[in-house]
Amino acid sequence: MSGDKDIITLADGGGGIKTMSLLKELLLPSVGSIDDSMEDGAFLKDIRLVFTTDSFTVSPIFFPGGDIGRLSVFGTVNDLAVMGASPDYLSVSFIIEEGFKKRELEMIARSIGRASEEAGIKVVCGDTKVVPRGAVDGIYINTSGVGRLVSNEPLIAERAMKGDEIVVSGDIGRHEAVVLIARGDFGLESELESDLAPIYNGIKALLDSDVGLVFARDLTRGGLAMALFELALKSKTRVIVDEKLIPINISVVGLCEILGLEPTFFACEGTFISVVRDGNTAVKILKDAGFSEASLIGFLEEGESIKDIERVVLKTKIGSHRLLPLPTGELTPRIC
């Protein structure tokens, strides 16, 4: 019988180190990719465009604060935004299971239309496939986005350096908590809603200021923890974060305590980190742009020769320090 090393597991899609290994060791070499940076989008230098693609399999497809249609638009828009690109053009492709209700499909399509209008992106092409019962779970959606680079350079982690400051745009972990509760597996109830939202206006506000924005990342699979590790690894720095400064909804805290999970691993769909030279000014700009819980949470220090496992340090609420472990698997499959 084959072991896990011979087959794809849910952990391979969780956004942690197993996902990174799958990409670097199997997929990128096999498809002949010349870009192994694994950023949220590709920068097409000659024409100064950013191109990104994503697929969405969230379960349930309707959840408090959103649905798979709205998620598919904002997920791709946000991947453009964190590269420093405007949301210009979008493709939408559906893979639909035989027997799926037309009423629900119409609801999802209308949600895509409203979200596209809200984000300021135009749906210009797409595709639809229907597959036999059991081949997919209801409906899957793929979206691809194209946008113009509005920053002088792409917002990538390699531009970050010692002394830079880290700002989070809002409270963390809400989307994954909402999806987890919505499945009904734990018999829990909550009035919590997903943070699902477009973030381009926040990125653009920072770019239009003099805070020195060099990197941004939306906190999807792997949450804040994975974004901080990617930042530290690619910038060859050590990240120091103050736990008491990280905004977390009390319901998310409670759920994590019940389940024994780390809230910094929980995914968001409308929250991002930014690396800037002037964190306090960046927080003010984000609050003025509608990100009311924006917070300066940490900074970067020298880390050229340290071990990878030591790259992210969390200052706890009681003043001690602990290493934040690198996410390895999938906390909640099919959150996006």
The reply to whether 218 and 282 lie within a common domain is yes
How many domains does the chain contain in total?
A: 2
The reply to whether 82 and 172 lie within a common domain is no
204, part of any domain: yes
pLDDT at 88 over 80: yes
The reply to whether 72 and 168 lie within a common domain is no
- Of 114, 129, 148, the residue at which a domain comes to its end is 148
44, part of any domain: yes
Q: What is the mean pLDDT of the chain?
A: 91
Question: Quick count: other Cβ atoms within 10 Å of Cβ 281?
Answer: 18
31, part of any domain: no
Cα angle for residues 310, 315, 317 (degrees, 5° grid): 150
The reply to whether 135 and 166 lie within a common domain is no
The reply to whether 83 and 208 lie within a common domain is no
Amino acid identity for residue 41 in this structure: G
Nearest-CA neighbor of 75 among 286, 267, 204?
A: 267
pLDDT one-digit tens code per residue, 153-196? 999 999 999 999 999 999 999 999 999 999 988 788 889 999 99
The reply to whether 48 and 81 lie within a common domain is yes
18, part of any domain: no
Say if CB 229 and CB 262 are below 8 A apart.
no
Q: Give the 3-state secondary structure percentages of the chain, helix then strand then coil, rounded to 5.
A: 35, 25, 40
The reply to whether 255 and 222 lie within a common domain is yes
Say if CB 84 and CB 155 are below 8 A apart.
yes
The reply to whether 171 and 103 lie within a common domain is no
- Of 131, 148, 165, the residue at which a domain comes to its end is 148
- Percent of the chain whose pLDDT exceeds 90: 75
First to last CA, the chain: 31
Peptide bond into 60 cis (omega under 30): yes
The reply to whether 313 and 206 lie within a common domain is yes
Q: Note if the pTM is more than 0.85.
A: yes
Identify the domain containing residue 210 by its residue range.
157-323
Strand ranges across the sheet with 89-97: 42-44, 49-56, 139-148, 89-97, 122-131
Confidence of residue 212 (pLDDT cuts 50, 70, 90): very high
Report the run of H or E that residue 19 belongs to, with start and end: helix 17-22
Say if CB 304 and CB 228 are below 8 A apart.
no
52, part of any domain: yes
2, part of any domain: no
Amino acid identity for residue 251 in this structure: S
Q: Residue 18: what pLDDT?
A: 73
Q: Residue 1: what pLDDT?
A: 42
4, part of any domain: no
- Give the pLDDT mean for 225-244: 95
336, part of any domain: no
270/188: higher pLDDT: 270
The reply to whether 198 and 174 lie within a common domain is yes
The reply to whether 75 and 122 lie within a common domain is yes
In this structure, what CATH number is given to the domain that contains residue 245? 3.90.650.10
The reply to whether 202 and 311 lie within a common domain is yes
Say if CB 68 and CB 56 are below 8 A apart.
yes
- Of 113, 148, 183, the residue at which a domain comes to its end is 148
In this structure, what CATH number is given to the domain that contains residue 73? 3.30.1330.10
- 203: its two tokens: 């990125």
